[in-house]
Copies of this chain bind each other. A is one copy, B any other.
Amino acid sequence: MGLSEITLNLPPWVDEFLQHQANSYPDVVAKMSLVIELSKQNIVRGSGGPFGAAVFDDEGTLISAGVNSVVSSQCSIFHAEIVALALAQKKLGTYDLSSDGRRRYELFASTEPCAMCFGAIPWSGVSRLVCAARDQDARNIGFDEGPKLANWAAELEARNISVTRDVLRQQAVAVLTDYKTAGGRIYNPGNVR
């Protein structure tokens, strides 16, 4: 087959953008503001869908950032949350972010996770998920977020992953709406349309 490598590069603007941001984020509003700005910039720069994510440690230090890269990478796996989790694990050199006995790690997402990203969270070792827009807000602009448990947040809590919802929800919804209004691609696969 001769096909054995998967590669994702974040859009080049992300690194430059982050160089002009804070290194430390004192509270959930500061963290979520960054993540929503990532989702917005991903539209402005034309690099993907209207979703951003980031991993922070429990002292508020930014560990990794992700933006939706499905269309640019031609790979349906590279949602913002997946990108942020994979980059955090790479940075820390472990597939289990809970294995660091000194720090706990938190995933911030501009929209509640789709079915795939929901399933990725327990494997990742994060101790907390914080979301802005609701799953339903993404569905409202046409994304099929997939088949999810009605009590998905409780299922994460049952695995010692705390869930905080609706942080700056309206700001995140505004980004989703702008994407839809601007004719952004709703990249559901053809067979589930």
Contacts and interface: CB of A to CB of B under 8 A. Distances in A.
B10 A8 contact: no
Contacts of A164: none
Contacts of A192: 122, 159-161
A114 to B, nearest CB: 6
A125 interface: yes
Contacts of A109: none
Interface in A121-147: 122-125, 127, 144, 146-147
Contacts of A188: 123
Interface in A20-54: none
A8 B6 contact: yes
A119 B117 contact: yes
A5 B1 contact: no
A96 B76 CA distance: 7
A149 B149 contact: yes
Given A6-B7, A122-B115, A191-B125, A86 B96 contact: no
A180 B42 CA distance: 44
A163 interface: no
A77 B86 contact: yes
A77 B82 contact: yes
Interface of A: 1-10, 12, 14-15, 18, 62, 64-65, 70-71, 73-77, 82-83, 85-87, 89-91, 93-99, 114-120, 122-125, 127, 144, 146-149, 152, 155-156, 158-161, 187-192
5 contacts: A1-B15, A1-B91, A76-B95, A96-B189, A147-B158
